[in-house]
Amino acid sequence: MAEEVKYTEDNIRSLDWKEHIRMRPGMYIGKLGDGSSSDDGIYILVKEVMDNCIDEYVMGHGKRIDVKIKDGLVSIRDFGRGIPLGKVVDCVSKINTGGKYDSKAFKKSVGLNGVGTKAVNALSEHFKVYSVREGEMKEASFVRGDITDDSKVAKSDEKNGTYVEFKPDHTIFKNYNFKVPYLDKLFWNYCYLNRGLSIYYNGEKYQSNNGLLDLLESEMDSDPLYPIIHLEGEDIEVAFTHARQYGEDYSSFVNGQHTTQGGTHQAAFREAVAKVIKDFYGKNYDAVDIRQSIVAAISVKVIEPVFESQTKTKLGSLEIEPDGKSMRAFVMDFLKEKLDNYLHKNPQVADTLEKKIKQSEKERKELSGIRKLARERAKKASLHNKKLRDCRIHYNDQKNERREESSIFITEGDSASGSITKSRDVNTQAVFSLRGKPLNSFGLTKKVVYENEEFNLIQAALDIEDDLENLRYNRIIIATDADVDGMHIRMLLMTFFLQFFPDLVKKGHVYILQTPLFRVRNKKETRYCYSEEERRDAIASLGKNPEITRFKGLGEISPDEFKNFIGEDMRLEPVLVGKDNSIENILNFYMGKNTPERQDFIIDNLRIEEEVA
């Protein structure tokens, strides 16, 4: 019989603000992570400080923000009004303290809860803030939320504004690295949504003069089928076109916040753009054919928006205040007027758009029979061939708190998939086993996805045939051997995703699993090394004649050891498409008609991302 646990006054605890944030960081910044995902906590910390700077710009104060990130230390300086000097300490260390509660002008701000910089402070091993107002400065420093220096107000010849400097706590954010492409996108989005704002990140200037038009032009991997349609109204801005790619690609924003998981505004746009176009042509085109290959961005401003999580990645607001109009009606009415007028005034664009719709309709109907057979084959194969060892928690389960952890490993061979299967967390980690090298799908049509067994089964396992919103796993992890054959398989899989499901890459769902190349150990300690440099350091540290093992393939790593590499400390490299590295260019370079020189380059130099040390 279990021992009875007494429940008395001694069991009741009151945590101060920093203790609660440090004990439950997920409530404030979402998942922690090591920086390999764009929504990892270290980027949320940067964003929370940046949001305050942006609000100053929106209020008409300060057109420049300076950002520096080096060796994990982040510094951000705006040139707004500066925090009132008597409240500098309170604003970064007292929950529910801030200026946005008492200003109508801040009603369309994102950070209305008075938590942002307090969370940054509590989760940083070093935090410094100073404010300059009219020739005077107030400065304070903290360690993990505890104040260590509270300087008196002093004279200053600096310009007005606020400076925040912090270093994420390495005991909370383990082995973290800032990824340049994620920061790059964050800063560009701020500029697209705030025309005229200048952000200087490590000396590089970011600025936009044309808003979402600039954003879409930067996102396009090839020339659009027709000029980008850019429409603006009060509290709403949209831009869209169709491209030479598969799928639908959306960027959506609320009050300057990038809603990476969409929400009511994005859903309203998808519905409205299809209805307005159908009405314009007077034909009952299928919405799927209208939206196929669309690339779009939508930004709305909402009074006191309701989000589905603290990190504000999905809008839940159903109504537009103060008139109570639904989000759906608000977006629909805007597009009915603006888009309909645009198409009437631009008949050449309207003609090109309709041709694209008819082409998508023709392709869909041609594939319908093949798709039906492919679904039946996939169902039979997954049951009898055991290609997929599924997990219990899936990404499309909106109500599950652990949905973000859901992952699928795509691996080669029975031995490697067997080791991962025996080591995995059956709740959140699935395993898909490849048979041989996948087909090189470069330049092929989507027909091949249904006719090729491996591709068809991968698509079925991910449940992405009809809509990426059904995606079953948040992280698609390519797990291949660290040799030439393994790298080739990796590239073939990346080509498949980039060619037919580019949104999976753009939205940050595709990763490469990093596993150790060496094991170095003596009788007291074992170290796993991911590079020659780490191997040399381990040998020097462990002393004379340590045992050194070179792992030639994933199948050589025992299940007991594999647990160390796919658990909390799992090393993942995101597959990223940068601003200057389009999908079309990547595919042409890596999977086109390679010369021997280029093959050597791929083997020697393949890097998926760039880091800030």
Residue with tokens 């029979």: 369
pLDDT in tens, 577-586: 765 555 666 6
Average pLDDT, integer, range 189-217: 95
Q: What is the pLDDT of residue 418?
A: 85
Do 107 and 83 meet the contact criterion of CB atoms below 8 Å apart? no
Average pLDDT, integer, range 530-540: 91
Among residues 344, 330, 269, the alpha carbon closest in space to that of 302 is found at 330
Assign domain 212-362 one CATH number from 3.40.50.300, 3.30.230.10, 3.20.20.70, 3.30.200.20: 3.30.230.10
Do 512 and 572 meet the contact criterion of CB atoms below 8 Å apart? yes
Average pLDDT, integer, range 87-111: 66
DSSP of 93-104:
HSTT-SSGGG-G
Dihedral pair phi/psi, residue 144, rounded to 5°: 50, 40
Average pLDDT, integer, range 402-418: 87
* 385-515+554-608, CATH topology level: Rossmann fold (3.40.50)
pLDDT in tens, 55-83: 899 888 999 999 999 999 999 999 999 99
**177 three-class SS:** coil
Distance, in Å, from the CA atom of 63 to the CA atom of 68, rounded to the nearest integer, reads 17
pLDDT in tens, 209-261: 999 999 999 888 778 999 999 999 988 999 999 998 888 889 999 888 888 88
Q: Could you tell me the residue ranges of all domains in the chain? A: 17-206, 212-362, 385-515+554-608, 516-550
Distance, in Å, from the CA atom of 419 to the CA atom of 186, rounded to the nearest integer, reads 38
Do 89 and 131 meet the contact criterion of CB atoms below 8 Å apart? no
Distance, in Å, from the CA atom of 370 to the CA atom of 405, rounded to the nearest integer, reads 33
Superfamily of structural domain 17-206: Histidine kinase-like ATPase, C-terminal domain (3.30.565.10)
User: What token pair was written down for 316?
Assistant: 């839940």
Does the structure show a pLDDT above 80 at 119? yes
| Percent over 70 (pLDDT), the chain | 85
User: What token pair was written down for 532?
Assistant: 């020659």
Structure confidence at residue 347 as a pLDDT band (50, 70, 90): very high
Average pLDDT, integer, range 128-144: 96
Among residues 395, 51, 388, the alpha carbon closest in space to that of 199 is found at 51
